Structure 1
Amino acid sequence: MRVDGLNTEMQAMMLEASSARATPTAQQVGADFGDMLSQAVNNVNGLQKSSGNLQMRFDRGDADVSLSDVMIARNKSSVAFEATIQVRNKLVEAYKELMNMPV
């Protein structure tokens, strides 16, 4: 078995794969992160609105809404909100750490 021929072929495939794959710029990555963060916040907002709507319907006596539905929706929105708070705290902590780095 010829090892150097296999090695050359693997290197050629690696170069082809690396040239075919476009490397994202920092601006593209930042835009994707911003979009993802915006979608996450909108998702949390939707869960909170849904929870409030279910609670209001239950308070008004809607027979289609049970107490367990209301509690599950409230817990989902609470967990999502707490997760968002934790992400925000980590981002602020990372920002502060970057600002304190010597240049």
Structure 2
Amino acid sequence: MDIKGNSLYSQMQSMSLQAMGNKLPTTGADAIGVDGIPANSVGKINQSTSNFGDMLSSALNNVNELQSDAGDKKKAFEMGDTSVTLAEVMIASSKSGIALDATVQIRNKFVEAYKEIMSMPV
């Protein structure tokens, strides 16, 4: 999975500010950020145009590609293709397994967060 940590962190940070009712700092010199601290000292918020749904979809597609690549290499090795080594098969299988485990953990965190949000009083 090719998720950039800084981008994800800055998106979570901006969502947190929006959820607390604070306005996002502007890029001007007189912008005020969290707790009255100038926005320049807080740091820049990522202005990327990709949204969370696109990023999640891309990550899931990447996991799917890793799974299918590992399956193809396994099949080729089992059929006796000499261009595929056992090491390549094991590495592809491990990559796909790790990616799937990470995806399951992310899903579990989303479900946990959803349940927590739904149990909040309105």
**TM score, norm. by length of structure 2:** 0.62
Q: Which residue number in structure 1 is paired with residue 108 of structure 2?
A: 89
Shift of residue 14, structure 1, vs aligned partner: 1.4
Shift of 1:96: 0.2
Aligned partner of 1:55 in structure 2 is 74
| Paired letter, 2:76 | R
Q: Does 1:45 align with 2:64?
A: yes
Measure the CA separation in 1 of the matches of 2:111 and 2:56: 14
Distance of 2:75 and 2:30 partners within structure 1: 60
Q: Flag structure 2 segments of 5+ consecutive residues without an equivalent.
A: 1-27, 32-38
Q: Which residue of 2 aligns with 1:15?
A: 30
* Bigger relative contact order, structure 1 or 2 (CA pairs below 8 A, ≥6 apart): 1
Once the 2 structures are TM-superposed, how far is the Cα of residue 59 of structure 1 from its aligned partner?
Answer: 0.4
1:38-94 CA distances to partner (integer Å, 9 max, x unpaired)? 000000000000000000000010001011100000000000000000000000000
The equivalent residue for 2:54 is 35
Equivalent in the alignment of 1:9: none
5+ residue gaps, structure 1, are 1-12
Identity %: 51
C-alpha separation in 2, matches of 1:83 and 1:90: 11
Residue 89 (structure 2) pairs with residue 70 (structure 1): yes
Superposed displacement of residue 15, structure 1: 2.8
Q: Aligned pair count?
A: 84
Structure that is richer in helix per residue: 1
- Structure 1 residue ranges (4+ consecutive) displaced by more than 3 angstroms after TM superposition: none
TM-score under structure 1 length normalisation: 0.73
Equivalent position SS for 2:29 = helix
Instruction: Quote the residue 2:8 is aligned against.
Output: none
Q: Which amino acid aligns with 1:74?
A: S
